[in-house]
Structure 1
Amino acid sequence: MKIATRLASIALALSASAAVHAHNVWLLPSSTVLSKGDWITVDAAVSNDLFFFNHRPMGLDGLVVTAPDGSTVKPENMLEGKLRSVFDLNLVQPGTYRVAVLNDGVLARWKDKATGQVKRARGTPENIAGQIPADAQEVEVTQSAGRIETFVTVGKPSALKPSGKGLELVAANPTDLVKGEKASFALQIDGQPAKNFDVTITQGNTRYRDKINETTLRTDANGQFSVTWPDAGMYWLEATGKDTKTSVPAAKERRLSYAATLEVMP
């Protein structure tokens, strides 16, 4: 499948997840902490229940794995199945890695001049203009900036440098989370504090609970928030929003989305 289609697929999944929580979009590493360099496997899916493969695979065209020194790690054995995608990582360098699927997509909507029917197209900032007819009427263009990620540490943790693009999490050590202890984080938008932003945290295994039991927190004036983990296990952190800081001239709105998988130890 073409990259533009894949990016649009990720954007649609993020949008649906944020709106109704019908689908969760996530990366799930086999390990988040390694004592020494080793291989890990990462699953990637869009699901009805957290960390269960029961909807469809996530596209990996936007996958970027960043090593502690800022270099890029090449994923191996990438595979897209019917319900999940999967890839392996050989993590040799000590420190903390950022594993992320990035989306910078654009959605266009317009009315066809000849038929009056509503048409839609999804693509990238580079190719969306070419998909809209010159005589299109009532054109609406929306940009999306999404990040889905997780973190893995080999040996001693290292500082994570924010990209300064879109909505992202800032954490001193996102792989050193312990049951009963408070952890502090911050959200940023384009490198600036995401003020008064809602953050939702959900423990995994929702399949086996009558209620999702999600926790919603709100960032302060510095974009900061904290959480005391009630139990050990895998957690999903999500935040969504929108602004008008688009990089596509025709777009009046930018939809922001972020999701991260975090592991809390006993």
Structure 2
Amino acid sequence: MHNRILKGALLGLALAGMSMSAQAHRGWLLPSTAMVEAKEPWVTLDGAISEGLFEFHHVPLRLDNLTITGPDGVTTKAEGAVLGKFRSTIDIRLPKDGTYRLAIVSNNVMGSYKLGGEVKRFRGVEGTPGAQVPAGATDVTTSTTHTRLETFVSANDMNDTALKPSGVGLEMVPVTNPSDLRAGEPITFRFQLDGKPLPNFPFSMVPGAVKYRGTLGELRFTTDAKGEAKFTVPDANMYWLSAKFPLETQKGPPAPGAKRYSYTATLDVLPQ
């Protein structure tokens, strides 16, 4: 069981099947802070999958595919992550002042085919050997899941260059800079799918430290006709934002040919 869950973590497939129940395992990135003010700014980033948000007690989330988009809009691959028993961790230098996007994006494929009279099933990251269908296969059915998991950090200043959407998959576009979120003050986010706004689209935010509250404390919001949501959160905390498209109406594997999209972000909300 442990190996199966860990393998799912490596591929990002575990992220696609997460629910908002209190017992669900969630994948998350956790920055040491959302705003660094220093002459030579650095941030430490942890990644894990756990039942309790921001608690290290299950399996690590690999950071092999972590990318860093800097204040100038240039995206680079993160290097030097360390894989531990319950978490992965990496120290990231922030050489330019402004806002950074730290993200793991993947396209996962699962399906089945018939070869030599036998039905075979497969799953893997799109473009890798595990997701390939061999020549001669028939009755091929596939479904794909696009996942984006991210967080944001600013060094000495804030700007919005790294916040521009890619136009691919399910994305949250911060109108309010995610390094400047405060309890009780208006926050505005926009959601879009493949570059198009998502009107009347629901998403949720769950504050950390659930074990100290005894309740999940989930906050639910919905975008307006333009795909934007303007809202407040009552308390300062580290929050886990989650959204999926299409909305889940039933459990179990996706239908053949289906496309699913999953988005999660860790957001640091400070006191007023």
TM-score (norm 1): 0.86
Structure 1's 165 and 146: CA in aligned 2 closer, same or farther, altered over 3 A?
A: same
Whichever residue aligns with residue 71 of structure 2, its letter is: P
Secondary structure, counterpart of 2:28 in structure 1 = strand
The aligned residue for residue 67 of structure 1 is 70
1:196-215, Cα deviation, whole Å (9 max, x unpaired): 22101100011222220201
Counting aligned pairs with the same residue, the percent is 39
**Mean alpha-carbon deviation: is it higher for 172-181 or for 72-81?**
72-81
| 1:236 aligned onto 2:240 | yes
Residues 170-196 of structure 1: CA deviation (Å, up to 9, x unaligned): 113111111111211111111110222
SS of equivalent to 1:62: coil
1:8 to 1:231, Cα distance in 2 relative to 1, 3 A? closer
| Structure 1 letter corresponding to 2:92 | L
Alignment of 1:190-209 (within 5 A): 190-209=194-213
Residues 64 and 81 in structure 2, CA contact (< 8 A), matched pair in contact too = no
For residues 83-131 of structure 1, the C-alpha deviation after alignment (integer angstroms, 9 at most, x for no partner) is 111111000201100000111121123456535x552332314656634
1:248 is aligned to none
Match of 2:125 in 1: 123
Which segments of 5 or more consecutive residues in structure 1 lack a partner in the other structure? 244-250
Match of 1:156 in 2: 157
Give the secondary-structure state (helix, strand or coil) at the position aligned to 1:17: coil
Q: Is the 8 A contact 1:112 1:119 kept in 2?
A: no
What SS class does the counterpart of residue 105 from structure 1 fall into? strand
* Distance 1:62-1:39 versus aligned 2 partners, 3 A rule: same
Residues 52-63 of structure 1 aligned to structure 2 (within 5 Å) = 52-63=55-66
Aligned mates of 2:150, 2:130 — CA distance in 1: 26
Match in the other structure for 1:170: 173
State the alpha-carbon separation in 2 of the partners of residues 122 and 8 from structure 1: 11
Change (3 A) 1:130 1:260: closer
Cα separation, 1, equivalents of 2:89 and 2:45 = 6
Q: Give RMSD over aligned pairs.
A: 2.4
CA distance in 1, matches of 2:223, 2:134: 38
Task: Output one character per residue of 1:225-264: Cα deviation in whole Å (capped at 9) or x when no partner.
Answer: 1221211110010001139xxxxxxx72211000000011
Taking the aligned partners of 1:129 and 1:52, their CA distance within structure 2 comes to 32
Alignment match of 1:27 (pick from 17, 26, 29): 29
Instruction: Give the AA of the match of 1:65.
Output: I
Q: Which residue of 1 aligns with 2:264?
A: 259
What residue is the counterpart of 2:81 in the other structure? 78
In 1, Cα distance between the equivalents of 2:270 and 2:77?
28
Aligned counterpart, 1:221: 225
Are positions 1:143 and 2:144 aligned together? yes
Preserved contact between residue 8 and residue 105 of structure 1 (Cα < 8 Å): no
Displacement of 1:46 in angstroms is 0.8
Partner of 1:246: none
